[in-house]
């Protein structure tokens, strides 16, 4: 069915900032209306995450515990880079626990050709064969690599803009905003869906949040998936001392993303452990229609599966279900 909600790509900074600053009840009312009209039969997608290659990353992203540049220690995990069967076992377990999408992360600056990339392709094929959506996040990639991932059946590639163009240099020094945009363009050209979002709570201003959303909403078509993360401050990273974001700021960010990108899946991502049950339900009401599901994200914690099942039941939401063939 064609939805009567029209997607715009020309939102002005002022319009977006005005949405972010609306009285909360009015913002939620607008977001709810857009969400329910654009997405009839509203269902929440559970996505499970697995870190296939953990730590030792050459990039210097101030928030990230996996950067070589920080003293944060994320080692000590068995390396799964070439372990296709182990990864697929984890995907099967995630599916059996109720996940609809399986996301795999590599702490790489960029994908390189060779055995680990061939294993990544086999993992993607295997995850798809289980009936799950497959998402990969592994840094920058070339056009031929994007084509090979598309041929393997990859549903989506995650590559975040993380913050506004203006605040970016305060957070990441080893890769430019333009390089991120170029990676996103290559993903899009290969026909793979875009998963692209950002993080709040990294010392950015309200204007920065509006600016990030403006870049995201400017994509035509909009990214199919928009993760909204709250910073998880990890000891040993330069952002370790930052105060936790106000949960209502996360609600505002989700609601505004929903209004700007009506048909995208807006994912309530990192930082849920800092939210109580009611704040998470407010995020769902604001238009979030996916959460990460499973006891860990990549290296940090996530609410326990049992707690999430209780949360989803309390909220009364319906879930996306895997069709078993």
Site membership for ligand DTB, residue 227 (CB under 6 A): yes
Among 228, 234, 268, 311, binds ligand SAM (CB under 6 A): 234
Helices (H), 130-246: 143-151, 177-190, 206-218
DSSP letter at 274? G
Partner interacting with residue 67 (select from ligand SF4, ligand SAM, ligand DTB, none; CB below 5-8 Å by kind): ligand SF4
Q: How far is the CB of 12 from ligand DTB (least distance, A)?
A: 26
Among 269, 281, 286, 288, binds ligand DTB (CB under 6 A): 269
Token pair 């309390």 is at which residue?
314
Site membership for ligand SF4, residue 46 (CB under 6 A): no
What end-to-end distance do the CA atoms of the chain give, in Å? 25
Whole-angstrom Cα distance, residue 272 to residue 53?
Answer: 23
Among 38, 49, 107, 195, binds ligand SF4 (CB under 6 A): 107
> Considering Cα of 78, then 81, then 82, then 83, what sign does the dihedral take?
positive
Contact 67, 313 (CB under 8 A): no
Partner interacting with residue 225 (select from ligand SF4, ligand DTB, ligand SAM, none; CB below 5-8 Å by kind): none
Q: Which of residues 50-109 bind ligand SAM (CB under 6 A)?
A: 57, 63-64, 66, 105, 107-108
Residue whose CB is less far from ligand SAM, 234 or 260: 234
Let me know if 78 is exposed, middle or buried by CB neighbors in 10 A (0-12, 13-18, 19+): exposed
Catalytic, out of 195, 209, 258, 265: 195
Among 45, 163, 225, 229, binds ligand DTB (CB under 6 A): 229
Q: Beta 265-268 vs 318-319: how paired, if at all?
A: unpaired
Is position 196 annotated as part of the catalytic site?
no
Contact 260, 238 (CB under 8 A): no
Site membership for ligand DTB, residue 105 (CB under 6 A): yes
Partner interacting with residue 161 (select from ligand SF4, ligand DTB, ligand SAM, none; CB below 5-8 Å by kind): none
Question: What count of other Cβ atoms lies within 10 Å of the Cβ of residue 86?
Answer: 14
Site membership for ligand SF4, residue 59 (CB under 6 A): yes
Residue whose CB is less far from ligand DTB, 156 or 259: 156
Site membership for ligand SAM, residue 159 (CB under 6 A): yes
Tell me phi and psi for residue 90, to 5 degrees: -65, -40
**Taking CA 65 as the corner, what is the angle to CA 59 and CA 66, rounded to the nearest 5 degrees?**
45
**Taking CA 269 as the corner, what is the angle to CA 267 and CA 275, rounded to the nearest 5 degrees?**
115
Contact 217, 34 (CB under 8 A): no
Q: Which of residues 32-71 bind ligand DTB (CB under 6 A)?
A: 49, 65
Q: Which of residues 4-33 bind ligand DTB (CB under 6 A)?
A: none
- Write the CB contacts of 313 (distance below 8 Å, at least 6 apart in sequence): none
Catalytic, out of 90, 186, 265, 267: 267
Is position 325 annotated as part of the catalytic site?
no
Contact 141, 183 (CB under 8 A): yes
Site membership for ligand SF4, residue 66 (CB under 6 A): yes
Is position 267 annotated as part of the catalytic site?
yes
Report the interface residues with ligand DTB, using CB under 6 A.
49, 65, 103, 105, 137, 158, 160, 197, 227, 229, 232, 269-270, 297-300
Report the interface residues with ligand SAM, using CB under 6 A.
57, 63-64, 66, 105, 107-108, 137-139, 159-160, 162, 199, 229, 231-232, 234, 270, 298
């Amino acid at each position: 069915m064609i939805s009567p909600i029209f997607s715009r790509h020309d939102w002005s900074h002022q319009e977006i900032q005005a949405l972010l600053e609306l009285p909360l009840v009015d913002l939620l009312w607008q977001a709810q209306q857009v969400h329910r009209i654009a997405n009839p039969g509203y269902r929440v997608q559970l996505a499970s995450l697995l870190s296939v290659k953990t730590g030792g990353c050459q990039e210097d992203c101030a928030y990230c515990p996996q950067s070589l540049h920080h003293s944060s220690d994320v080692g000590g995990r068995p390396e799964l880079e070439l372990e296709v069967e182990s990864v697929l076992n984890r995907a099967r377990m995630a599916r059996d626990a109720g996940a609809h999408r399986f996301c795999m992360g590599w702490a790489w600056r960029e994908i390189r050709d060779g055995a680990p990339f061939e294993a990544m392709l086999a993992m993607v094929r295997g995850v798809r064969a289980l009936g799950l959506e497959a998402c990969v996040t592994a840094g920058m990639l070339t056009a031929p690599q994007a084509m090979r991932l598309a041929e393997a059946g990859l549903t989506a590639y995650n590559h975040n803009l993380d913050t506004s163009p203006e605040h970016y240099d305060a957070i990441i020094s080893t890769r430019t905003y333009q390089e991120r945009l170029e990676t996103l363009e290559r993903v899009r050209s290969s026909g793979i869906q875009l998963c692209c979002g950002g993080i709040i709570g990294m010392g950015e201003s309200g204007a920065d949040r509006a600016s990030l959303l403006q870049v995201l909403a400017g994509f035509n078509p909009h990214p199919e998936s928009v993760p909204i993360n709250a910073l998880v401050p990890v000891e040993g990273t330069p952002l370790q001392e930052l105060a936790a974001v106000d949960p209502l700021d996360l609600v505002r960010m989700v609601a505004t993303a929903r209004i700007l990108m009506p048909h995208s899946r807006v994912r309530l991502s990192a930082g849920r452990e800092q939210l109580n049950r009611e704040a998470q339900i407010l995020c769902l009401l604001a238009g979030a229609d996916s959460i990460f599901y499973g006891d860990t994200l990549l290296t940090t914690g996530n609410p326990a599966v049992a707690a999430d099942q209780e949360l989803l039941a309390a909220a009364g939401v319906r879930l996306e279900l895997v069709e078993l063939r």
